[in-house]
């Protein structure tokens, strides 16, 4: 029974992890940090916090603030003394990194550095942090393995995530900080991020707008359901690296890339099934194939051999199962087309 701190606790993955840990009653105290940024609809973050608050669990404590504020971070660590830290707070999104690069440096570099320093100063036993499949850049070899070179990022977002890995490694080498980095692959699910394709497409279709499918549909993504990501995190929490330097990186993905055109077909099936859209909706009239965008990669494909070996787990939820869960949640939360 320990104290655990989760940054980005009102975020998509952070909110789901917090709910699971509080329900399991494994920790004496579950502390959350989030800045409630308006990168996307803050109402979704409030919704996630509402689900957490509805548990009425006395172990839960929430702090609103920004990780780039070192005084704030140090104050939270000093007050709560976490033994385990899960850093899920980050400025996400590949395309947005070209519009607002400063947000990525402040959140993903400065913020992560402040977390590392606090972990060092306050003697944290294990830091688990979110990296991204984006670090693989335009790698041609598939599936992506942790042993592959990742020194050619094609987006600022990817560069910041690779920087986090290097910083965590350095803190392990210098100070013995035990840290595990997880490269997430296209996480999706209910109450997710509206900037992700499945959510963004649904919003546009509901408004009768056109959806754009990049690289003329010749893309594939390794879609990973959020519940599988959370299960993976839970398995990592109690198993810090024992090597030296005590730093490990793993891929966490389903290991089954799906072509974007197939993805859209499954999404439309589930939106109709959930009655988000009518059965006679003309999807072809609302789809447009367009060229690739800067920062995008043609395929993501996780080699999860190392994770399966060390934690006896591999994400198992099919894309159809996951999108069905999303569509049913969307219908309850937003309603349907008139």
What are the catalytic residues?
Answer: 157
Measured distance CA(106)–CA(256) in Å, rounded: 33
Measured distance CA(30)–CA(55) in Å, rounded: 13
The answer to whether 89 and 14 are in contact (CB under 8 A) is yes
Q: Which helix (H) or strand (E) holds 99?
A: helix 96-99
Concatenate the DSSP letters of all residues of 63-123 into one string.
EE--TT-HHHHHHHHHHH--SEEEE------STHHHH-HHHHIIIIIIIHHHHHHHHHHTT
Length of the chain in terms of residues written: 338
Q: How many CA atoms lie within 13 A of 298 on its CB side?
A: 8
The DSSP output letter for 272 is H
């Amino acid at each position: 029974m320990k104290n655990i701190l989760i940054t980005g606790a009102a975020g998509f993955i952070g909110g789901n992890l917090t709910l699971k840990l509080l329900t399991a009653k494994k920790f004496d105290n579950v502390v959350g940090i989030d800045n409630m940024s308006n990168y996307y609809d803050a109402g979704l973050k409030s919704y996630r916090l509402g689900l957490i608050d509805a548990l009425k669990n006395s172990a839960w404590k929430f702090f609103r603030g920004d990780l780039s504020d070192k005084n704030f971070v140090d104050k939270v660590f000093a007050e709560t003394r976490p033994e385990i830290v899960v850093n899920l707070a980050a400025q996400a999104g590949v395309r947005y990194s070209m519009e607002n690069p400063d947000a990525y440096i402040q959140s993903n570099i400065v913020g992560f550095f402040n977390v590392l320093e606090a972990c060092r100063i306050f003697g944290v036993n294990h830091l688990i942090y979110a990296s991204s499949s984006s670090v693989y850049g335009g790698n041609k070899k598939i599936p992506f393995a942790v042993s592959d070179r990742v020194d050619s990022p094609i987006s600022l977002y990817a560069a910041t995530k690779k920087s986090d890995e290097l910083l965590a490694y350095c803190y392990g080498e210098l100070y013995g900080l035990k840290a595990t980095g997880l490269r997430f692959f296209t996480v999706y699910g209910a109450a997710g991020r509206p900037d992700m394709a499945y959510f963004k497409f649904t919003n546009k279709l509901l408004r009768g707008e056109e959806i754009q499918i990049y690289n003329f549909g010749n893309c594939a993504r390794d879609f990973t359901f959020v519940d599988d990501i959370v299960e993976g995190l839970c398995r990592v929490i109690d198993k810090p690296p024992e090597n030296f330097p005590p730093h490990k990186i793993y891929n966490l993905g389903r290991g089954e890339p799906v072509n974007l055109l197939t993805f859209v077909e499954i999404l439309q099936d589930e939106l109709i099934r959930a009655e988000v859209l009518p059965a006679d909706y003309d999807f072809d009239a609302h789809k447009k194939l367009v060229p690739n965008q800067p920062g995008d990669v043609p395929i993501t494909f996780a080699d999860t051999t190392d994770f399966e070996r060390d934690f006896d787990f591999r994400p198992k939820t099919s894309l159809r199962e996951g999108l069905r869960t999303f569509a049913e949640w969307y219908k309850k939360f937003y309603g349907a087309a008139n």
